[in-house]
């Protein structure tokens, strides 16, 4: 098995859903990931991620305010976010973006908070993790108005059509597209079509644990040990071997996250 990294997971939520503590999961999971990126989406989750990165050399973290909790964004939160991002194992800002499926905040508020955090990531020269759901046009508007330059972007858990992937890839940023278990779902042909047009050097592997477990694990809490199943489907879609797909994703992780 080629070495692999889960570039996006929420292991605090995994522990809640599965009833399995991180320590025991990490000790037993097979195949074993080389490393993981724990994503903290709101202030309440920051401490868990900080604790985990302190205890495990293979755990890295991303910190950001998720669009569903955009209303919580204020100067005090931004200060805490900056502080968290100053840690050497804070490898990215995110997930940030727009989610018009759950509508946890108005579109206008989400766009404001997205733009503000985007600027922060650009200023700090951090890779930025995007959560974009059912908000293609507004997302492209915010991204095109920011001075994104060559910033590294990980569009996480891509679930849209190929034309949106194409538009994201044609931004001036160094954009990577992350695929989760969704790519294995029977009804997700549009996501496989999107994967087929994403160049091999722009793909990332992620679980979004504990959500979106790939076939044949649907209904179970997902975790990094399921990454090879996602990679198998992607390899088929791309017409390459599993090893070369995993190697490409591993190299892309190095380029995007520096790990």
Give residues in contact with Zn ion (CB under 5 A). Answer: 208
CB of 95 to Zn ion, least distance (A): 5
Cβ closest to Zn ion, residue 138 vs residue 208 = 208
Cβ closest to Zn ion, residue 10 vs residue 202 = 10
What secondary structure, in 3-state letters, does 191-246 show?
A: HHHHHHHCCHHHEEECCCECCCCCCCCCCCCCCHHHHHHHHHHHHHHHCCCHHHHH
Instruction: Pick the closest to residue 224 from 57, 87, 66, 58 (CA basis).
Output: 58
158 contacts: CB under 8 Å, gap ≥ 6: 165, 177, 178, 179, 182, 191, 194, 195
CB of 207 to Zn ion, least distance (A): 9
CB of 64 to Zn ion, least distance (A): 10
Return d(Cα 137, Cα 13) in angstroms, integer. 30
CB of 143 to Zn ion, least distance (A): 19
């Amino acid at each position: 098995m080629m070495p692999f990294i889960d570039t996006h997971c929420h292991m605090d939520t995994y522990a809640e859903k599965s009833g399995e503590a991180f320590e025991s999961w990490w000790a037993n999971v097979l195949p074993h990931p080389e490393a993981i990126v724990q994503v903290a989406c709101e202030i309440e989750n920051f401490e868990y991620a900080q604790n985990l990165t302190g205890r495990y050399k293979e755990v890295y973290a991303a910190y950001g305010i998720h669009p569903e909790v955009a209303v919580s964004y204020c100067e005090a939160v931004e200060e805490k976010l900056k502080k968290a991002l100053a840690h050497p194992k804070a490898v990215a800002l995110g997930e940030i973006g727009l989610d018009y499926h759950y509508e946890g905040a108005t579109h206008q508020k989400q766009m404001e908070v997205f733009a503000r955090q985007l600027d922060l990531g650009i200023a700090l020269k951090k890779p930025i993790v995007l959560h974009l759901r059912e908000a293609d046009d507004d997302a492209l508007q915010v991204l095109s108005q920011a001075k994104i330059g060559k910033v590294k972007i990980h569009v996480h858990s891509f679930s849209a059509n190929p034309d949106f992937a194409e538009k994201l890839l044609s931004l001036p940023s160094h954009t990577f597209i992350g695929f989760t278990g969704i790519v294995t779902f029977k009804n997700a042909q549009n996501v496989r079509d999107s994967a087929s047009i994403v160049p091999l050097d722009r793909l990332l592997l992620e679980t979004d644990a504990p959500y979106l477990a790939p076939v044949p694990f649907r209904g179970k809490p997902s975790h990094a040990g399921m990454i090879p199943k996602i990679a198998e489907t992607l390899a088929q879609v791309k017409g390459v071997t599993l090893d070369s797909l995993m190697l490409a994703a591993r190299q892309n992780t190095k380029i995007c996250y520096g790990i």
